[in-house]
Amino acid sequence: MPESINHPRRHMVLGAGAALAGSILPLSAFAADPLKVGLIVPMSGPFASTGRQINAAVKLYQQKYGDSVAGRKVEILLKDDGGIAPDVTKRLAQELVSRDKVQALMGFGLTPLALAAAPIATQGKVPMIVTAAATSIIPQRSPFIVRTGFTLAQVTAPLAAWAARNKIKSVVTFVSDYGPGLDAEKVFVKNFTEAGGKVLDSLRAPLRNPDYAPFLQRVKDAKPEALFVFVPSGEGAAVLKQFTDRGLAAAGIRLICTGDVLDDDLMASIGSAALGVVSSHHYSAAHPSAANKEYVDAIAKMNNGMRANFHSVGAYDGMHLLYEALKQTKGDSDGEKLLAVMKGMSWDSVRGPVSIDAATRDIVQTVYIRRAEQRGSEVYNIEFDQVDKFKDPGV
């Protein structure tokens, strides 16, 4: 009977196939499988410069280090979330994880957008590398979040200490009225008053469609020795314009700010209004190292002369973190395994030495105090003081 002859043979063939499938096939399929990364950033709207900078850095990283690592091709799926609607960011993250099967999420230009996507990372068990959004609480919202940018608390505390040390006695604080601004305000007030300074007033402007003029008029009337400002990247030129137009500098009020206000991407439009302004941040395009010069030149060359800013560096380091983690897992993109090796990782960034705090998954780095100075025909933030290995102090 044909059946009785065929059955054993079929079993043998199936058996061999099953053995193959159990060993060689999944391995080769695994190695050939591209690793998809969902990059969600604002490429349009008021914060489009953030997306442009991040996308440029991701492209440069892959051009320099290749588009595969540990046998996996790394495919970037770029999504524009427009930068203002958390529900849009959340939907994009959901689609990327459940439909496109991305194995990592990256980007996140603003705090509310990062917070909206956090539950998706938790549900999908995918690493979520936050390269831009900078409110302290963000990594606490998912055990899969790792941050390669910075926090406002981290850069503000050293500036408050610097101001007090440098005989500034009275300050008005002025921030954008949302997560990072509230963190900056709280940390500045705490550190400055503890060091003996006096905060005369704390003003907050709306994030959406702000009109800075009335706020700066109030600052002028309060007559502080200095004004401390945080506004998110992209907004600094408008604040500097009102600071000048309202005659605050002429009235003897000093401006001090986080580096977001004197964002390298905006320095050409701010121009001489920035001269002499002291700020604190984790990155300046003028950071004096050979690696940084090479980085700034490469970003400019690939992007019509664009000056690299801190968002680009956050993304460049986000790519480094992902590539190095994949090397350590030998190409295994299991979220928990990637997180395990990302925790505690350290490397030399173009901004200086950095590490990922194993307990908080937040970045530890040097915070620099800088002064805006003319260099040739341009204005740069020139670093002149620093605090090394500085962790997010929280709020």
> Do β-strands 170-176 and 226-230 pair in parallel, antiparallel, or remain unpaired?
parallel
Closest to ligand PHB by CB, 69 or 278: 278
**Residue 29 beta carbon to ligand PHB: minimum distance, rounded to whole angstroms:** 39
- 201 forms beta bridges with 172
The binding site for ligand PHB (CB under 6 A) comprises 110-111, 132-135, 179-180, 232-233, 260
DSSP state of 282: S
**What is the three-state SS of 65-111?**
HCCEECCEEEEEEEEECCCCCHHHHHHHHHHHHHCCCCCEEEECCCH
**Residue 250 beta carbon to ligand PHB: minimum distance, rounded to whole angstroms:** 28
222/230 Cα distance (integer angstroms): 18
Cβ neighbours, 10 Å, residue 106? 29
**Residue 54 beta carbon to ligand PHB: minimum distance, rounded to whole angstroms:** 11
**Residue 47 beta carbon to ligand PHB: minimum distance, rounded to whole angstroms:** 7
Tokens of 290: 């050979």
**Residue 177 beta carbon to ligand PHB: minimum distance, rounded to whole angstroms:** 12
Helix (H, G, I), strand (E, B) or coil at 108: coil
Of 337, 341, 335, 322, whose CA–CA distance to 72 is shortest? 322
Closest to ligand PHB by CB, 75 or 80: 80
Closest to ligand PHB by CB, 55 or 233: 233
Cα–Cα distances (Å) from 27 to 18, 23, 32, 33, 330, in that order, read 14, 7, 9, 10, 12
Closest to ligand PHB by CB, 134 or 199: 134
Cβ–Cβ under 8 Å, residues 89 and 121: no
**Residue 108 beta carbon to ligand PHB: minimum distance, rounded to whole angstroms:** 8
Closest to ligand PHB by CB, 107 or 335: 107
185/159 Cα distance (integer angstroms): 12
Closest to ligand PHB by CB, 158 or 180: 180
